[in-house]
A and B are shown apart, each in its own frame.
Chain A
Amino acid sequence: MRYSGLRIIKEALTGHKGWTPAWRDVAPQNQYDFIIVGGGGHGLATAHYLAKVYGKARIAVLEKGWIGGGNVGRNTTIIRSNYLLPGNEPFYEFSMKLWEGLEQDLNYNAMVSQRGIMNLFHTDGQRDAYRRRGNAMILHGSDAELLDQEQLRKEAPFLNFDNARFPIKGALVHRRGGTVRHDAVAWGYARSADRHGVDIIQNCEVTGFKIENGKILGVETSRGFIGAGKVGVAVAGSSSKVMSYADMRLPIESHVLQAFVSEGLKPVLPGVITFGAGHFYVSQSDKGGLVFGGDIDGYNTYAQRGNLPVVEDVCEGGMALMPMIGRARLLRMWGGLMDMSMDGSPFIDKTHIDGLYFNGGWCYGGFKATPASGYAFAHLLATDTPHDTATAYRLDRFISGHMIDEKGVGAQPNLH
């Protein structure tokens, strides 16, 4: 069913009896050409582009629980194309362009809202680093502005300019950055994939791969064996576990990132703001909650929950930056599992198994990448060649020394 203005009016006047499920709830068939493991944002997007752009059929998405229950539904909803390194920025700029056309592509309103993102800087050194980054963004076709303190004060007068331990000197502003209604991304891709014939199979956990003579034949699941020509894995957070079924060790650790939302407040924040002298970033949702986060807890974990030190650290950053939020209350905190990679950048690559492909290592930045990740993974699955914007995301980049380390902290995942 296509959503349209006419349809909305008709349903409103007839008691909403005509709406049909956003996607079919189907049982697995015996054999598919393509199986995508993981019904999160990336997996669903992969299926959508594989079917719609690359014209493939006989595609299934297997999800161990309910689609969209992982990181696509547990993040702070930020999208941005503000990377420094040549291995990254073309990919994220591609992703931004896909976000900009997403509603029309999916016929689903995911509320892409480009209200801008401000990265604050507090020292001359940070300013210089942001100048380098801002220039890189522009050279890659993205947008960037460098605001000095006076200009920033006009745009965000509520920031703590006058009483701060680390005075705010200015900001790198990326106007096209913003937020998206995260759950709607999963549902929108699912609905569109479904309309293009993709089978979305929920409550179907992959428990192993069937591999013979170095070639994949299918997957073992909690609902039995399903044959496949090609299998793409997009299960960030559980990548190590799933890929261990193919005897692979990955340059990835699993960590938890907490996120927070306040009670609903009348709108005060223009866009996304990130603190340059502490771990804190914040935006305000269309419902009015301040949505914020900070650093990962910093130890390997598969428990989707964090501990108090990070909660306090994040709120300290918030109060340092905008002490007007002291009386606003934190309503809910939750945690999502991150694939923290060894250089802070992701992987979209073939594996040593013929027909087995891997997408993961998104660290805390997978949400913004969803469209491009799906597109590039679909491209790889369909053509066996990497998408132009994702050529750097290889699993073997560490052996050749071509790390994509935006932060420059090396093989220490909890510092990325």
Chain B
Amino acid sequence: MLIPHPLLGLRDAQEFVYKGDARLMARPDPQADDALQAFHDYTYLRDNPAGQHRELWFHEQGDRSWLIVTRDTRTHEILKAELARPRGKGERT
């Protein structure tokens, strides 16, 4: 697979480390009353769609940026790749 890195262009997926569902960016509030259930769901439950999937890849053998990649899990077609962390003060690209 080739991942279109927003800064570096097409890179072989072998340069990346996969983490999974991009919902892992939405860490729950630890102070909430239902924090245990919320953290359980956050940590363990996944949508796991057969279709478009927003997922996290870490460019470990590259610029060490975390990317959010939108990929079709049936065909491996990559529809989008963006930086997980906004650049500078700009918007998330």
Contacts and interface: CB of A to CB of B under 8 A. Distances in A.
Given A240-B49, A254-B73, A300-B73, 15 more contacts: A241-B50, A249-B45, A249-B46, A253-B20, A253-B46, A254-B48, A299-B55, A301-B76, A302-B50, A309-B12, A398-B43, A399-B40, A411-B43, A413-B20, A414-B18
Residue picked from B37, B47, B50, B55, most chain A C-beta under 10 Å: B50
Contacts of B83: none
A302 B19 contact: no
A352 to B, nearest CB: 14
Contacts of A298: 18
Nearest to A299: B18
Contacts of A309: 12-14
A334 B21 CA distance: 25
The A interface, classified by DSSP as helix, strand, loop or mixed, is: mixed
Interface of B: 1, 12-14, 18-21, 36-37, 40-41, 43-50, 53, 55, 71, 73-76
A276 interface: no
Interface in A368-416: 398-399, 411-414
A171 interface: no
A303 B74 contact: yes
Contacts of A302: 50, 73-74
Interface in A245-291: 249-254
A249 B45 CA distance: 6
A120 B27 CA distance: 40
A152 interface: no
A307 B46 contact: no
Residue picked from B21, B36, B46, most chain A C-beta under 10 Å: B46
Nearest to B47: A249
Contacts of B48: 240-241, 249-250, 252-254, 300
B55 A300 contact: yes
Nearest to B53: A300
Contacts of B75: 303
Interface of A: 238, 240-241, 249-254, 298-303, 307, 309, 342, 398-399, 411-414
Contact of A251 (B14, B46, B53): B46
B20 A399 contact: no
Contacts of B37: 399
A298 B78 CA distance: 16
B14 to A, nearest CB: 4
Nearest to A238: B50
Residue picked from B12, B41, B48, B74, most chain A C-beta under 10 Å: B48
Nearest to B43: A411
A298 B58 CA distance: 13
Nearest to B36: A399
Contacts of A240: 46-49
A302 B21 CA distance: 15
Given A398-B40, A413-B20, A252 B74 contact: no
Given A241-B50, A249-B45, A307 B1 contact: yes
Given A253-B20, A303-B74, A398 B13 contact: no
A413 B21 CA distance: 11
Contacts of A253: 20-21, 46, 48
A237 to B, nearest CB: 10
Nearest to A410: B43
Nearest to B37: A399
Contacts of A238: 50
A251 B20 CA distance: 13
A241 B50 CA distance: 7
Contacts of A413: 20
6 contacts: A251-B44, A299-B55, A300-B21, A342-B44, A398-B40, A399-B40
A250 B41 CA distance: 9
A238 B74 CA distance: 12
Nearest to B55: A300
Given A300-B55, A399-B37, A413-B20, A251 B50 contact: no
A238 B71 CA distance: 18
Contacts of A414: 18, 20
Contact of B19 (A241, A301, A412): A412
Residue picked from B12, B18, B36, most chain A C-beta under 10 Å: B18
A251 B55 contact: no
Contact of B46 (A241, A250, A398): A250
Contacts of B21: 253, 300
A398 B76 CA distance: 30
Contacts of A399: 36-37, 40
Given A307-B13, A414-B18, A251 B74 contact: no
